[in-house]
Amino acid sequence: MTAICRLIDRATVWLLRNRRMPLDITATAEHFRGGMEVVQARIPRLLHDHGHVELELHIAELCDAGVPAELARQVAGQEIVFAALNVVTVARDTDTPLEVVTDVYFELGFALSFDWLYVCVRDLPALDYWHRGARGMLRDELSVELRKLTTDVLRLTPDSLSFAQRIDTWLELKQNKLAHYRSVIAELKSAGTPNFAMLSVAVREVRALTRDGQIDGENAA
């Protein structure tokens, strides 16, 4: 129940920040329903090995606490379904099918170690209100930046390519910026359990990837 309440809080804050006010609840629910269904249906194929392990462990914990198996699976997957808010927004902004945006969003996140960063942020100690707020700030900023990066991929690569080819093309175009970002991530991973300051640096490096709209190859052309 606590996890669901946290998810509702996050979704509420997201909507207040990203939707026009006053908020039409019925229209908003209808707007995002399709994206929620697409992401929910694609969860099994969107997760890589580590993600599958995390999901199954969460399901097992809920079942051990007395939650029925089917409900446990739905609750455990809600963190992933939350991404549908970003997926629907990117699909609308780039006029791209939901399925394509969903695949790019999750696969790009994996390619850039966002799955690892999310787990590190989630596991930060939340000793009081301020620690919880700081942790939430990092998590939400990662979500915002992944949405921007997904939009960048879709706008800079041809529609004729598969989602995997579009990501590979974008990674090659951004290789100069990504080299520094990846060195920072590798250093953090080798350091053991990163603290708040270290993860703040990682988020700053993520922001650098979306700071301007120019691709590296354009400057050399």
Determine if the pTM surpasses 0.75.
Answer: yes
Whether the per-residue pLDDT at 218 is higher than 50: the answer is: no
Whether the per-residue pLDDT at 169 is higher than 90: the answer is: yes
For residue 1, which of 75, 83, 77 has the smallest C-alpha distance?
Answer: 75
Between these two residues, 42 and 187, which has the higher pLDDT value?
Answer: 187
Q: What is the percent of the chain where pLDDT is above 90?
A: 43
Between these two residues, 211 and 91, which has the higher pLDDT value?
Answer: 91
Q: What is the pLDDT of residue 142?
A: 93
Whether the per-residue pLDDT at 67 is higher than 80: the answer is: yes
Give domain status of residue 221, yes or no: no
For residue 112, give every residue at least 6 positions away whose Cβ sits within 8 Å of its Cβ, in sequence order, or none. Answer: 146, 149, 178, 181, 206
Q: What is the pLDDT of residue 204?
A: 93
| Structure confidence by residue, pLDDT tens digits, 128-154 | 888 888 888 898 899 999 999 999 999
Which residue shows structure tokens 């850039």? 112
Give domain status of residue 117, yes or no: yes
Q: What is the DSSP letter of 20?
A: P
Type of residue numbered 217: G
Give domain status of residue 182, yes or no: yes
Residue span of the structural domain in which 35 resides:
2-216
Give domain status of residue 187, yes or no: yes
Count of structural domains within the chain: 1
Give domain status of residue 84, yes or no: yes
Between these two residues, 36 and 114, which has the higher pLDDT value?
Answer: 114
Q: What is the pLDDT of residue 221?
A: 36
Whether the per-residue pLDDT at 176 is higher than 70: the answer is: yes
Q: What is the pLDDT of residue 219?
A: 41
